[in-house]
Amino acid sequence: MSTMICERCGCKYEGPSCLRCIWEINWKNAHDNKGQIARMERGSSLAPPVEMDALKGKALFQGTGKVPYETTLSSCTCKDYILSLSRNPAPCKHMYRLASDLGLQKLPKVKVLYEVFFDDMSDEDYFSEQTITIKVNHKCVRVMLEQRPDNNEN
């Protein structure tokens, strides 16, 4: 497939359409509220897609179920996105991760403080460090905190 130049934004692209324009047209004003910032943070810590077609702007993300989420720059099959359609449609964490992987959206940097693997722990086992306590439900637990200034210091 040959390289095209988008008539709208002037970007070079390969594939059926300009992915930058798809992202900007659909979600231009959707990124500034607290809920969306939290989705961007979760997207930045999300595992990479199990499959991605960069030319078409599509990816599959493995969730907790057997069937992966089908994600594009304009939709996702995850529950969060589907529920947003009845309120105020907005990108989910999978869409943010896809847009980031395609170079269309910068996501906040989240620092991974701990990555702990548990093999034989029950749901009642806990991992604690200072004020961070996490109930272990999976074999791998990631504790992520964004570095922000502490406003409570005197």
What pLDDT, in 10s, does the model give residues 110-119? 655 555 555 4
Helix (H, G, I), strand (E, B) or coil at 67: coil
Instruction: Kindly report which listed range (60-64, 97-101, 111-115, 141-145) carries the lowest average pLDDT score.
Output: 141-145
Confidence of residue 60 (pLDDT cuts 50, 70, 90): very high
Going from N- to C-terminal start, the domains of the chain cover 31-101, 111-145
Cα distances (Å, whole numbers) of residue 14 to 6, 8, 37, 71, 133 = 10, 15, 30, 19, 46
What pLDDT, in 10s, does the model give residues 69-83? 999 999 999 999 999
Confidence of residue 15 (pLDDT cuts 50, 70, 90): confident
Instruction: Kindly report which listed range (82-86, 88-92, 108-112) carries the lowest average pLDDT score.
Output: 108-112
pLDDT given for residue 111 in this prediction: 55
Strand-pair partners of 145: 111
Q: Does 149 have pLDDT greater than 80? A: no
| pLDDT: which is higher, 137 or 47 | 47
Q: Compute the chain's Rg from CA coordinates.
A: 18
Q: Across the chain, what does the average pLDDT equal?
A: 78
Confidence of residue 14 (pLDDT cuts 50, 70, 90): confident
